[in-house]
Homo-oligomer: A and B are copies of this chain.
């Protein structure tokens, strides 16, 4: 399954309409079992992540994988209850329209402070939707984290390992 990659900045109009970047649409299409050429793919938006000022978009295939992981946790365990709540009550099933757009309800826009512009960020099996300024801050935070925890070296040693795994 291909992954969400890259960043894109799109306009949000006062009806809440935003284009999903074309590259992301392709991934949503591939990940939607009900999709076939000519149809509009579906996705799931998860909005309940605290300490995170962004929305998260999953293809149908990806969200099913996450759902199944949760189902495998012990029933009534604390973790499972929390995840179930997060993933089920704080999420939304959406279908792209004919033009490749979705409508972000006002409630969600307010939640993540999105007004006229949204940044789409590829995160592999999911993507994030940010207010542009908040995204920049978050990136800066990550940069800082990287240098402090020496994670960058770790990442690139992972990259270096590519050779060894062959």
Contacts and interface: CB of A to CB of B under 8 A. Distances in A.
Contacts of A6: 88-89, 91-93
A5 B91 contact: yes
Nearest to A81: B123
Interface string A64-95: 01110111000100010011111111111100
How many residues of A sit at the interface, in one of the four size bands?
Answer: 35 or more
Copies in the complex: 2
Contacts of A143: 50
Given A67-B3, A125-B163, A87 B155 contact: yes
Interface of A: 1-7, 23, 44, 50, 62, 65-67, 69-71, 75, 79, 82-93, 121-125, 139, 142-143, 145-146, 151-152, 154-155, 158-159, 161-163, 165-166
Given A5-B44, A5-B88, A82-B145, 16 more contacts: A3-B67, A3-B88, A4-B88, A5-B89, A6-B93, A50-B143, A50-B152, A65-B161, A65-B162, A65-B166, A66-B75, A69-B158, A85-B142, A86-B155, A88-B124, A89-B123
